[in-house]
Amino acid sequence: MATVTLDGLRKVYPDGHVAVHGASFEVADGELLVLVGPSGCGKSTLLRMIAGLEAISDGTLRIDDRVVNEVAPKDRDIAMVFQSYALYPHMTVAENLAFGLTLRDMPKAEIAARIEAVADRLELRPLLQRRPAALSGGQRQRVALGRALVRQPRVFLLDEPLSNLDAKLRTSMRTEIARLHRSLGATMVYVTHDQVEAMTLGQRIVVMRDGEVQQIDTPMALYHAPANVFVATFLGSPAMNVLRGRLVAGDGAPGLALADGRVLPLPGLEIDPQWLGREVDLGLRPEHLVRCGPGEAAHFEAELDVIEPVGSEAFAYLRYGPQALTARFAPENLPGPGTAVPLRVAPGHLHLFDAGDGRRL
C-alpha cells in the first residue's frame, strides 16, 4: 500500500472559481480516510485531483515519496470506484472484472486467478456470466468494487459509491467496505456527503466546507470536540442545538442570556471571567438535553411541539420561547404536544463557540 500526502492543494477553474483552497493532510499507509461535507464543498474535486482526473492548480501531491502532479492517472497505481458504477453494459461481470487487467497484457492465468479470488470475496461467483442489466444495484456496486480489487492498486478512491442504493443496502455495503478494508489493510480515501457513513467508516474524517478543510480528526473527537459551529452541526443526527446569547454570571453557575430575556443556566461550565458579557453560540447535543423525572430539579421548561418515535428512542422537537430545540427521549410515557416539559442540561457536555467567526472557545 502507500501514503498519500497533500501539501497546499488548490483547484482554480478558468472562470476564477476556487473549488479547493490549499488542502494539506496525509493519508497514512493502510488508513481509511473519509472526506465529508455538503454538496459543492470540493470533496469530489479533491478526490479527482488525487486520481489525476482534475489538474492541480497549485500545491504538491505525493504518493509515498513520488510527486505525481503531472503523472497520468493510469500510472499512479490508483483504482477508483464511482457513484455511477461505470460498468460496461455489453460485457459480462467476468469481462468487466478482467477489462483493466487485459489492457495491461496480464497473462490469462493470472487474470483468471484474480477474478476467482475477488468473486469469492464479494460473493460474485454466481453472477460472473450475467450482464449489468440483469443485476440489482447492490450487485452492480459489488462488481464495481471487484473491478477495483482485481487491480491490486496501492490506493483505493471511492466517490460516493453507496449513494444510489436504498437504506438497507447502504448499511450492508458499508459493513462490506469496512470488512474489506480490515482484511486488505488498504489505503482508502472515501468521499461521502452522508455523515453517518463518515462516522461509521472513517478511521479519520476530513470535514470540508466551501473548498476549505474545517477539521481533521477521528470520528469521536470530531463529535465531542468540534473545532467550529459548522463541524458541530454537520456531524450528529439530529443536529446539535445552537443557542445564541450573552454569557452572564448566574446564581452559583454562569448562564446564557437569550434575546428574549430568558437566562439558561449552564451548570458545571467554567468560563474565564473576562468572557462575561461576550456574545457566544452555545452548542448542546440532543442527548445532553435531559427530560426530568418526578422530583428531579429542572433547569428550565420547554413546550413540546412534535414528537417522533423511532423505536428505541423518540426525537422531541421543543420550543423555548422563540428558540427551537431537539432532544432525545426514552420511548416510554411520552408527553403530548403542548406539554411543558421540565429539562436539565447535562453538565460537562456544553460547547461554546465565538458568535463572530464560529470557532470553538
- Note the pLDDT tens digit of each residue in 64-79: 999 999 999 989 999 9
β-pairing, 32-36 vs 187-192, is: parallel
Task: Indicate the residue type of 325.
Answer: L
How sure is the predictor about 167, in pLDDT bands with cuts at 50, 70 and 90? confident
Domains of the chain: 4-229 (3.40.50.300), 241-354 (2.40.50.140)
Judge contact between 143 and 119, C-beta under 8 A.
Answer: no
Q: What is the pLDDT of residues 235-270, one digit of tens each?
A: 998 999 999 999 999 777 889 999 988 899 888 888
53 has a pLDDT exceeding 90: yes
Residue 175 predicted with pLDDT over 80: yes
Over residues 127-151, the mean pLDDT reads 91
**How confident is the model at residue 165, as a pLDDT?**
81
- According to the model, what pLDDT value does residue 296 have? 87
- Strands 204-209 and 32-36 turn out to be parallel
pLDDT digits (tens, 9 = 90+) for 92-113: 999 999 998 998 889 999 999 9
Q: What digits encode the pLDDT tens for the residues 334-346?
A: 999 999 999 999 8
If you search the block for the grid coordinates 456531524, which residue do you land on? 235
**155 near 187, Cβ under 8 Å?**
yes
SS3 call for 215: strand
Tell me the average pLDDT of the chain.
93
Residue labelled with grid coordinates 483552497: 21
Identify the three-state secondary structure at position 300.
Answer: strand
Task: Give the residue-averaged pLDDT of 288-310.
Answer: 92
* pLDDT (0 to 100) of residue 189: 97
Secondary structure class of 74 (helix, strand, coil): helix
Least confident residue range of 38-47, 88-97, 125-134, 259-268: 259-268
Alpha helices in 52-202 (DSSP H): 93-103, 108-121, 137-150, 167-184, 195-201
Q: Is 95 exposed, middle or buried (0-12, 13-18, 19+ CB in 10 A)?
A: middle
